[in-house]
Each structure stands twice: as C-alpha cells, then as structure tokens.
Homo-oligomer: A and B are copies of this chain.
Amino acid sequence: MGSKALSNAHGKGSRAVVLLSGGMDSCVCAALAVRDHQTAAVHVSYGQRTEQRERRSFESICDRLEIRDRLLVRNDALRSIGGSALTDSGIAVPESHAIGNNIPVTYVPFRNAHFLAVAVSWAEVLGAGQVYIGAVEPDSSGYPDCRPEYYRAFNEVVKTGTKEGSIRVVTPLIAMHKREIVTLGLELGAPFDLTWSCYQSEKRACGVCDSCALRLRAFRDAGAEDPIPYEVAAAR
C-alpha cells in the first residue's frame, strides 16, 4: 500500500460497508470507500463459475487496502434457482460479440438484491451509514440491476425497512465509463493486479468472455496496461 489516502484507519468517524466481488469496479469502489470511511467489506459467493478465484481476490484486495472487518457469505439460493450462464453449467458463457444486445444470458436473476440485502443487514448491525456498491451503467453488460433507477428504488426500501432508516446505498461509479474507472483506480492506487473479472476461467483470464472484453477495452481506452495475464495472447 503506497498511498496514504488509502489507509483504512479506525480514527475515521463514519463507517461504511462495501460490496467487494473482487472485480475491477468493486476494487475501485472499495478504494473510494477506504479513502473516506472506516470500511468493512463483504463478499458473496453464489455458486458462480469462478467463485474460488473471486474469493481469493477479495481477501488479497482487503489485505492491500487494510480492511480488517470482512464478511464472507455463501448464497445457495442463486445456484439452486439457476437461469444464468454464471450459475448454470448448462448455459454457455458467450463471447464478447454479445455486448450491446439486450440483457445477456450472464444476467443472474435479481442478483444484486441478494447482495444489497446482506450489506444493508450488516451495515445496520455495525452502525455503518453507507453501503458502497460498484454498479456501472455505461459500457456495461446491460443488467437491469445496474441502473440508477434501481438504486433509487432500493434506497426507499432501505429507508422504510430498517430500524433507523438512515443507511444509504451509494453507487459512486454508476455513471462512469469503464476507462474512467481505470483512470480513477490508478489515481487512487487501487490494486488492479489483485482483481479478477473473467466469467469463465479461474486459472488465467480467458480474454474473450463479455467481462474480459469490457475490461480489456477499458484499460486500452484509458491508455493503461492491465496488470493481469490473459490466456489469449492477442487480448492485450
């Protein structure tokens, strides 16, 4: 950890909970939370193809950002329910040409509500005032639960459904283009080298799934080098 801005010192007044999948967006989101709050991080494994690799990223990003308060949760429901290429091995993960066409098969039905429920419950017990989530609308896969109107609505649920009604879900990246997220992450010293985005592989990022394609384009457009290795040599 080079950057002083990223110290997760307990002297900070306000507390926050960040949802940290281990991907590039949530990593930048966690770096932002750590800059401004005493931050706790939560990770949800839900039977997605790359869950072990993502959990490893979560732990190492927390180490680097000095996040001590961590919650690792298993969600069995999403795997049992299926209906997505990420949780059902019978549905193939598409290659990048699918970007831009409607809602892709990697959409996990109503997934972010599961994640937010965990983060808000924990925030309520910790006394944290904010829940950070790295949802992104532009240049993204077109998931309905990554749009600002979804988070506006969710905040009403939090307001009406918690004891104090004072927790806010914040989405600092939601209007940013992926290349801007890369630039912001580099400014903050976010540990991109520890992140995992690939939907398909746990060993080496495939370079061709939707998620790899979006990430690679983001780094290229930002004029930066993606520090992780890829299976497809041409990917970079």
Q: Interface residues, chain A, CB within 8 Å of chain B?
A: 44, 71, 73-78, 80-83, 103, 107-114, 116-118, 120-122, 124-125, 144-145, 147, 149-150, 153-154, 156-163, 165
Residues of chain B within 8 A of A80, CB atoms compared: 71, 73
Residues of chain B within 8 A of A147, CB atoms compared: 160
Residues of chain B within 8 A of A120, CB atoms compared: 109-110, 113
CB distance from A118 to the nearest CB of B (A): 4
Given known contacts A77-B118, A121-B110, A159 and B163 CB-to-CB distance under 8 angstroms: no
Copies of this chain present in the complex amount to 2
**Are the C-beta atoms of B150 and A113 separated by less than 8 Å?**
no
Residues of chain B within 8 A of A116, CB atoms compared: 113
Given known contacts A110-B120, A110-B161, A82 and B125 CB-to-CB distance under 8 angstroms: yes
- A116 to B120 CA separation, bound complex (whole angstroms): 14
Residues of chain B within 8 A of A103, CB atoms compared: 163
Known A75-B75, A77-B122, A145-B160; 6 more pairs at CB < 8 Å: A109-B120, A110-B121, A144-B161, A145-B161, A153-B160, A156-B156
**Are the C-beta atoms of A114 and B117 separated by less than 8 Å?**
yes
Q: Which B residue's beta carbon lies closest to that of A73? A: B77
- A120 to B160 CA separation, bound complex (whole angstroms): 19
CB distance from A155 to the nearest CB of B (A): 9
Q: Which B residue's beta carbon lies closest to that of A82? A: B125
- A109 to B124 CA separation, bound complex (whole angstroms): 7
Q: Which B residue's beta carbon lies closest to that of A146? A: B161
User: Could you write out 24 A-B pairs with CB less than 8 Å apart?
Assistant: A74-B76, A75-B77, A77-B117, A81-B118, A81-B121, A81-B125, A83-B121, A109-B125, A110-B117, A110-B120, A110-B161, A111-B121, A112-B161, A113-B120, A113-B121, A113-B157, A114-B114, A114-B118, A144-B160, A150-B161, A153-B159, A153-B160, A156-B156, A157-B157
